[in-house]
Amino acid sequence: MIVLGIETSCDETAASVITDQGEILSDVVLSQIEIHRPYGGIVPEVAARAHLEYADHVVKQAMEQANIGFEDLDAVAATGGPGLIGGVIVGVMTAKAIACAHDIPFVAINHLEGHALTARLTDNVKFPYLLLLVSGGHSQLLIVRGVGDYTRLGTTIDDAVGEAFDKSAKLLGLGYPGGPPIEAAAKLGDAKRFALPRPLRGRPGCHFSFSGLKAAVKRAIDALPPGELLDQDVNDMAASFQAAVADVIADRARRAMHEFQAQCPDGTTLVVAGGVAANAALREKLQQVVAKEGMVLVAPPLNLCTDNAAMIAWAGIERLKNGPPDGLDFAPRPRWPLDPDAPKAKGAGVKA
């Protein structure tokens, strides 16, 4: 089986061709970072227009890299949500057009499920496993029992961790996106200089909260002597912030591991996915936790942690092996929880 995947849920226009043997024939990602950098964040309308302008070109490039024609495809998969709805519509309509023109099945993929199943593409991880999904829009812990079978143990009650990285980086003058420059600055800083809070650490449950941490960064910066931030101030704050994030996520993950082991005694794997999963300090902290809990950590390669279409194509293959394709009447969704039956978390800005 050969499937084309299309991803347009945020600020990357991506297309990829994958086989059911896990062979990535092509993986093209066109980033919009430079377009959005002057605004300090993603502008939905600008993102949608960029997807519309480049989607066909990116698909063509992916097909050329794979050295196949559309007649060789067995299906086309596209992110159907959640995400910025303008971009999601572009990807879905592009995929539907290809499906209709070439008489092949169309599959609408939950973007979060793409992240959730990536470890099966890269490491052949067996069900069940525990998933830590950390990105700019989501911070969740879920039990993955199978394709389409997810139990949410925790989510963010305010900001997602990636959002906290971006806003803290902006406060430090490090630009957008915030993850890479904070990680780079943290290597030169003293993580003990600023006493930042660890929201919800030690509390019952597996939910996350990062709004208070972000606010504490601003207060600490405002308390410094007037004038321009010194380089060492920036490095020390970056290190202190990153350490706080790693401590919080490790604590929440440890609690989720206990719940996971109680529900799935045969499960031994923690999978970390999403853009923030590329952070080396976080991976190191999680490695220490899984070692103590008798589990194994699996983290996909860095290029498959951030948004990409290879994960969408692979999720399409997994879906087609487990059920029928979607109809061309599928409606793109701005919200699409993996566990629709999960109790609603209480907090400002809760992510579905």
Residue 347 confidence class, pLDDT cut points 50, 70, 90: low
Match 């794979």 to its residue by tokens: 66
Amino acid at 213: L
- What interhelical angle do 161-171 and 231-263 show, nearest 10? 170
Q: Do domains 2-116+305-322 and 127-302 have the same CATH topology?
A: yes
Q: How far apart are CA 286 and CA 276, in angstroms?
A: 13
Instruction: Give mean pLDDT, residues 115-124.
Output: 96
Give residue-wise pLDDT tens across range 215-273.
999 999 999 998 889 999 999 999 999 999 999 999 999 999 999 999 999 999 999 99
pLDDT of 102 > 80? The answer is yes
- At residue 228, the pLDDT reads 81
Q: Which fold has domain 127-302?
A: Nucleotidyltransferase; domain 5 (3.30.420)
CATH of segment(s) 2-116+305-322: 3.30.420.40
- Determine how many CB atoms are found less than 10 A away from the CB of residue 290: 21
Instruction: For the chain, give the percent of residues with pLDDT over 70.
Output: 98
Record the tokens describing residue 212, joined without a space.
């208070």
Cβ-contact 78, 108 below 8 angstroms: yes
Q: How far apart are CA 327 and CA 277, in angstroms?
A: 33
Comparing CA positions, the residue from 329, 336, 330, 319 lying closest to residue 75 is 319
Q: How far apart are CA 248 and CA 126, in angstroms?
A: 27
pLDDT of 172 > 70? The answer is yes
Amino acid at 105: P
pLDDT of 352 > 50? The answer is no
3-state secondary structure of 215: helix
Give residue-wise pLDDT tens across range 77-92.
999 999 999 999 999 9
3-state secondary structure of 143: strand
Record the tokens describing residue 313, joined without a space.
């194509």
Q: Is the CA virtual torsion 241, 245, 248, 250 positive or negative?
A: negative
pLDDT of 351 > 60? The answer is no
- The overall average pLDDT reported for the chain is 95
Beta bridge partners of 154: 141
Residue 41 confidence class, pLDDT cut points 50, 70, 90: confident
Comparing CA positions, the residue from 200, 84, 183 lying closest to residue 141 is 200
Record the tokens describing residue 209, joined without a space.
């909260």
Residue with more model confidence, 349 or 141: 141
What phi, psi does 218 have (nearest 5°)?
-65, -45
Instruction: Give mean pLDDT, residues 154-174.
Output: 95
pLDDT of 309 > 80? The answer is yes
Instruction: Give mean pLDDT, residues 36-55.
Output: 91
Amino acid at 170: K
Residue 38 confidence class, pLDDT cut points 50, 70, 90: confident
Instruction: Give mean pLDDT, residues 176-202.
Output: 96
Give residue-wise pLDDT tens across range 261-306.
999 999 999 999 998 999 999 999 999 999 999 999 999 998 999 8
Q: Where are the domains of the chain?
A: 2-116+305-322, 127-302
- At residue 39, the pLDDT reads 83
Instruction: Give mean pLDDT, residues 170-185.
Output: 94
Give residue-wise pLDDT tens across range 335-344.
999 999 998 8
Instruction: For the chain, give the percent of residues with pLDDT over 90.
Output: 89
pLDDT of 42 > 50? The answer is yes
Q: How far apart are CA 213 and CA 151, in angstroms?
A: 27
Residue with more model confidence, 352 or 164: 164
- At residue 350, the pLDDT reads 47
- At residue 348, the pLDDT reads 46
